[in-house]
Structure 1
Amino acid sequence: MDDREDDRGTGHGHGPGPVFGHGLVLGKFYPPHAGHHHLVRSAAARCRRLTVLVCASSVESVPLAERVAWMRAVHPEAHIEVVGAVDDAPVDYSDPAVWDAHMTVFRAAVPDRVDAVFTSEAYGAELGRRFGAVAVTVDAGRIAYPVSGTAVRADPAGYWPHLAAPVRAALARRVVVVGAESTGTTTTARALAGHYRARGGVWAETRWVPEYGRRFSAEKYARLRAARPGAGFDDVTWDAADFELIAERQSADEDAAAGAGSPVLFCDTDALATTIWYERYLGGRSPAVEAVAARGRQHLWLLTDHTGVPFEDDGLRDGEHLRAWMTGRFRTELTRRGLPHLLLTGPPGERLRTAVAAVDELLARGWHFADPLPERG
């Protein structure tokens, strides 16, 4: 008996098995989870070349391009190619005409000969037959990874450990603390992260993202002092490129932390705040910084009021006289853009309690995924 017959007979992908030329894995990956990645890696280990076909329907709420990007990020191996296709055909595994419609989509996306199809689903045998390929079943009982796309969509936080970094980064609820100088943004962001880490479980990995602009300012000031030992912080000069770099780095740090942390992330400022700091130092608006801010995935902004908070000059601050103006600008801009925000007032304990209540409300609203096309047959 040859390898093709043996695999078709057993229907299992256990053991090293034969090496196929071109393998195929397909699915909605809505969103991709550990079970999907196990399937892809199992197939990749048995094929000289593997195509992963991401099929999205128009009714689903995660764009096809984003799912393709997620799968490419998790599976960057040279012999794995991830492609995407929109498939709006009904899902009825008992209807040959529906199968024909799906195969038209599949063949258009993957025109080359397929030697083996790898699935964890009951439809794998028919899919293999229609491709003229060996059907290999991998962990059909979900024993290795007890998770499904349906379960993840219903409760992302409950299945957080089964999600890879790109998906976590996209789904994490991002809470940004913004405010004028010396109003407690760092203290609040750090305290919030500590509060949620203390809840344990999936929340134990809760992170906060420091303000990159502060680090950048300290380094810029240090260079100036090395050249002019008597210079003060108000002697530091700024240009548009500084703020563009700060916005890009702040966003990159935020994305990295979101991918590595819990279902909630706290940020000490963000690229949107950088647009206000640009205005404060250079006047006007920066299209480049605005473009970075427009890519953001933030869900809630907490604005720290300057009222009742003493100004502490730590050597990197020069705007005590502008604090009221800055608070007003943040509030005006958040309102103008229609972004959810809350003004934190009172002593530190009251501010933290108010912030926690707002974040709990955000998390209680959960995540919303549009239902995929119903499956029949």
Structure 2
Amino acid sequence: MSAAYEHGAAYEHGAAYEHGAAYERGPAYEHGLVLGKFYPPHAGHHHLVRTAQGRCARLTVLVCAASVESVPLADRVAWMREIHPDARVVGAIDDTRMDLHDPAIWDAHMAVFRAAVPEPVDAVFTSEPYGDELARRFGAASVTVDQDRTLHPVSGTAVRKDPAGCWDFLAPPVRAALTRRVVVLGAESTGTTTLALALADHYRARGGVWARTRYVPEYGREFSGHKLAALRARWPGAQWEDVEFTTDDFPLIAGRQNEAEEEAARAGSPVLFCDTDSFATTVWHERYVGGRNPLVEEVADRAPHHLWLLTGHEGVAFEDDGLRDGEELRPWMTGRFRDELTRTGRTFVALEGPHEKRLADAVVAVDALLDQGWYFADPLPENR
């Protein structure tokens, strides 16, 4: 997580406590509990967990999700485990609404909590006004941490309303899950790299969190370069047309492409630009090997992309850079990309004309994607 808290992100590093908070040395409690929806987790949650870890010999973090919420419980648990590897993180579904004034509703919640955390709890750490009652019902001490949100002025409600505005309060795996991923794809020598780089520059120029907008290059080209170099090491006169691909090459290419995107999304802005993607690799497999490879399609379906920009071949000169051939296949490839994007229900925009027009049309499409915002289902109603 070396890049997790760059650019002024509002996090503590390690278990250190900011602003001179005077916590006692050594654990004050044997077993502590932090409980919340973490919908989604943010810097205030992480400060709470780290504070509790500093005061407990061991800590349990209980993630409670309602079935109506749109971020799966498994994702929240996975995020919290990654961010807090030294805590025990467990999850539970809790479909009872919150009413702090109804003992029966409290009992229903406690049944869920006790089932998930059956062992004795010595201290309950919260940033909420209900912390004292929750601790009393666990028979534990109540420890309140930054209830006024002065250290980290953020809340789950604020994040759900405006993730981009709260970007610096989000940890890398949450950013990666929320990043809007835009793919530029097309036949050989149709300007995908030029356009993807130009889009990243355009959004970086907006400043703020957008200044961290990333571009992910096409891993297939790097792989192709290695293939050619390895062949020339055995046969110095080898050319690109002498390189042979096997069907097993393509799941590897698709997987490495996904990995590069995930890494970039963790450290970047709310939008990421990708020069091709694992979905495009399915068509490149057809181009170089023929037919389909289900493993490539399986890898492609794992990647959470949101918009594809298809660069047309008409009016674009073919440039042979030593890793290209098959200029005559460009119309076929453009058609295959269009057909597969349509068949699989992916959202795409076809771009034609000179670069300046393509860039302008692409910005319109990306802005429309970002203007849609992020959808979070409302949590269960609360009566505080």
Q: Aligning the two structures, in what range does the TM-score lie when normalised by the shorter sequence? A: over 0.9
> Where does residue 283 of structure 1 map in the other structure?
290
Give me the whole-angstrom Cα distance separating, in 2, the residues matched to 1:356 and 1:303.
Answer: 13
1:32 correspondence with 2:41: yes
Give me the whole-angstrom Cα distance separating, in 2, the residues matched to 1:243 and 1:99.
Answer: 54
Aligned counterpart in structure 2 of residue 370 of structure 1, from 343, 362, 377 = 377
1:320 correspondence with 2:327: yes
Aligned counterpart in structure 2 of residue 295 of structure 1, from 294, 302, 314 = 302
Give me the whole-angstrom Cα distance separating, in 2, the residues matched to 1:288 and 1:81.
Answer: 35
Aligned counterpart in structure 2 of residue 91 of structure 1, from 74, 92, 98 = 98
Aligned counterpart in structure 1 of residue 23 of structure 2, from 15, 28, 31 = 15
Q: Which runs of 5+ in 2 are unaligned?
A: 1-20
Q: Give secondary structure in 2 for the equivalent of 1:23.
A: strand
> Where does residue 85 of structure 2 map in the other structure?
76
Give me the whole-angstrom Cα distance separating, in 2, the residues matched to 1:324 and 1:48.
Answer: 65
TM-score by length of 2: 0.93
Query: How much does 1:35 deviate?
Result: 0.4
Give me the whole-angstrom Cα distance separating, in 2, the residues matched to 1:140 and 1:71.
Answer: 21
Give the partner amino acid of 2:147.
Answer: A
> Where does residue 71 of structure 2 map in the other structure?
62
Query: How much does 1:270 deviate?
Result: 0.5
Give me the whole-angstrom Cα distance separating, in 2, the residues matched to 1:170 and 1:101.
Answer: 32
Give me the whole-angstrom Cα distance separating, in 2, the residues matched to 1:149 and 1:167.
Answer: 12
> Where does residue 157 of structure 1 map in the other structure?
164
Per-residue CA distance 1:61-89 (angstroms, 9 max, x = gap): 01100111111111112xx1111000001
Aligned counterpart in structure 2 of residue 123 of structure 1, from 118, 121, 130 = 130
Any conservation in 2 of the 1:14–1:138 contact (CA below 8 Å)?
no
Give me the whole-angstrom Cα distance separating, in 2, the residues matched to 1:213 and 1:88.
Answer: 46
Give the partner amino acid of 1:34.
Answer: A
Q: Give secondary structure in 1 for the equivalent of 2:248.
A: helix
Give me the whole-angstrom Cα distance separating, in 2, the residues matched to 1:20 and 1:213.
Answer: 53
Per-residue CA distance 1:72-124 (angstroms, 9 max, x = gap): 111112xx111100000120011111110000000111111111110000010
> Where does residue 355 of structure 2 map in the other structure?
348
> Where does residue 45 of structure 1 map in the other structure?
54
Give me the whole-angstrom Cα distance separating, in 1, the residues matched to 2:22 and 2:161.
Answer: 30
Aligned counterpart in structure 2 of residue 268 of structure 1, from 250, 272, 275 = 275
Any conservation in 2 of the 1:153–1:369 contact (CA below 8 Å)?
yes
Give me the whole-angstrom Cα distance separating, in 2, the residues matched to 1:201 and 1:19.
Answer: 41
TM-score by length of 1: 0.95
Per-residue CA distance 1:201-253 (angstroms, 9 max, x = gap): 11000011000110011011101001100111111111122111110000010
Per-residue CA distance 1:332-353 (angstroms, 9 max, x = gap): 0001111110111000000000
Per-residue CA distance 1:126-167 (angstroms, 9 max, x = gap): 111011111101100100000000000000011011011101
Aligned counterpart in structure 1 of residue 339 of structure 2, from 312, 327, 332 = 332
Aligned length: 363
Give me the whole-angstrom Cα distance separating, in 2, the residues matched to 1:323 and 1:95.
Answer: 67
Q: Which runs of 5+ in 1 are unaligned?
A: 1-12
